[in-house]
Amino acid sequence: MKVAFNKIKITPKNYIGMPLAGYTREEPCLGKLDDIHAHGILIESSSQGTAKKMLLLISMDLLKVPLSLANYIKKKINDEFISIEPEHVLIHATHTHSAPDLTGEFSFPGGFLNLIKGIIFGANRNDRYLTWFTRKIVEMVKGLFSDLKPCKMAWTKKEFNPEIVINRRHPTRKVVPELGVITFRALEDNNLIGFIINYACHPTTLSFKNNSLSADYPGRMIREIDDLTKNSIKSAFFNGPAADLNPITTCGTNYKKLDLDIKLIYDQLGTYEHTEKIGRVIAREALKLARSIPEEDYFDKMEFNSYIKYFWVPMKDPKYFSKTWYTNKIYFALKKYFILSIYRHIKANFPSFTIKHRGFSIKVNTIIQYLLIKGIKDSKPKSKEFSLITVPGELFEDIGKKIFRKSPTGKKDTFIFQNTNDWIAYLLTVKEYIEVGGYEITASFSPLCGDYVEKEMLKLFNEIR
């Protein structure tokens, strides 16, 4: 097997004045704290007969990537490199809340009402930027082919939360996200070439008052690893099930107090100092974990299979009655009968959702991907498998735990990448929607998205078995 790591800067040339995605800000972008990048990992599988398969993982410092844009990027890569099949490409957004708006909903800075205006009328106006950074990604992939090195691979995970992550909706719940790494060592000298980091935390260390472009803590994490290793070890970040997991910046760790007033979490006033601190803490632990994997856990060869499932999610509201019923109904009716009905008439090359209308029936098309990766030892007749699972949105902790438990390779050998290949919703349970409600459902296509993604994923697991 062979591997290569590369990154390319995708900071817009005209970022001043561009709308930033993620918050209902009063103003557009006014400056830059750090650059945003696309990170690529190209893996050439071991020989399977006469054919070798290429697996390409791309992580971008963006809020989200809709299905139409992800498919566009995959097509452009395949047009240039026929050996990389689109179903063997994974497009991930780290979910920084300080990146350019790609979908149009943040077109009109100035608060919640202007966000609604953006959802209705804010068709994507950044086609030039999207096509420009796609060309940059293709250029990056070309470099990956040049840098391929024979390698061996290992992976591991550990629970890690030194009071840097909190469940914003249930503050007293014990949150212990897993820090996972997938590492690659050179066959020639056994030096660490690079590693993939998987951790679950919202990239919102910078508060809603920030008006400067930034990759947030994932960017600082990568830079810290570069500094610690003098650029000799490459890394890339893929966010885990972090929909309801926020960084702790200024709210403190009095969880009982926060449970009584969760606005203290939502209204944190984090600064770039918090960005640097949290990036540094995760980076150092990830590097330590990558270096700790013993030699006997490495595999000389790798084979993989990619399983992709497209499916439709209806815009429906479940039947129930609860204290959140009235608020939920208003949000639901506003979306289905007003916003989406208008949205269908807006023409955009890269729309937020891939929607089908038939009268009052509205559905969104989306994708899940499952990669089964097998490590094989040359010296012994030994192999081991792990899973890479993608979901089209921000996955709530509860559903993430179910998917981990049901994964064909088990929790210990499973990595979940959220916001990958598409974004349709905050993927929450129906129970959470009914009992707690919350603003998260306003941005989501449907309150049923989380339930459908979970069901389709479990069906896919059974089909693979």
Q: Can you read off the two tokens belonging to residue 237?
A: 């970040």
Q: Cα Rg for the chain, rounded, in angstroms?
A: 21
The DSSP secondary structure of 116-142, one letter per residue, reads HHHHHH-----HHHHHHHHHHHHHHHH
- pTM value is 0.95
pLDDT score of 356? 87
In tens, the pLDDT along 276-305 reads: 999 999 999 999 999 999 999 999 999 999
Asked whether the predicted pLDDT for residue 50 surpasses 60, the reply is no
3-state secondary structure 85-100: CHHHEEEEECCCCCCE
In tens, the pLDDT along 58-115 reads: 999 999 999 999 999 999 999 999 999 999 999 999 999 999 998 888 887 777 777 7
For the segment 123-133, the average pLDDT, to the nearest whole number, is: 84
Check residue 192 and report its DSSP letter: E
Within a domain: 144? no
In tens, the pLDDT along 343-383 reads: 666 666 778 888 888 877 889 999 999 999 999 997 777 89
Distance from the Cα of residue 240 to its chain's centroid:
7
Q: What percent of the chain has pLDDT over 90?
A: 80
Within a domain: 325? yes
pLDDT score of 351? 80
For the segment 109-126, the average pLDDT, to the nearest whole number, is: 70
Within a domain: 97? no
Please state the domain count of the chain: 1
Within a domain: 408? no
pLDDT score of 49? 57
Q: Mean pLDDT over all residues of the chain?
A: 93
Asked whether the predicted pLDDT for residue 42 surpasses 80, the reply is yes
The DSSP secondary structure of 377-417, one letter per residue, reads -SSSS-EEEEEEEE-SEEE-HHHHHHHHHH-TT-GGGEEEE
Scanning 197-322, the segments in alpha helix (DSSP H) are 216-228, 255-260, 263-266, 272-292
Within a domain: 311? yes
- Residue 79's contacts (CB-CB under 8 Å, 6 or more residues apart) are none
Which range of residues forms the domain containing residue 371?
303-400+414-464
Within a domain: 114? no
Confidence of residue 246 (pLDDT cuts 50, 70, 90): very high
Which of the pair, 447 or 106, is modelled with greater confidence? 447
Within a domain: 436? yes
Q: Within 13 A of 119's CA, how many CA atoms are on the CB side?
A: 19
Confidence of residue 119 (pLDDT cuts 50, 70, 90): low
Specify which residues 32 forms β-bridges with: 213
Within a domain: 176? no
pLDDT score of 341? 67
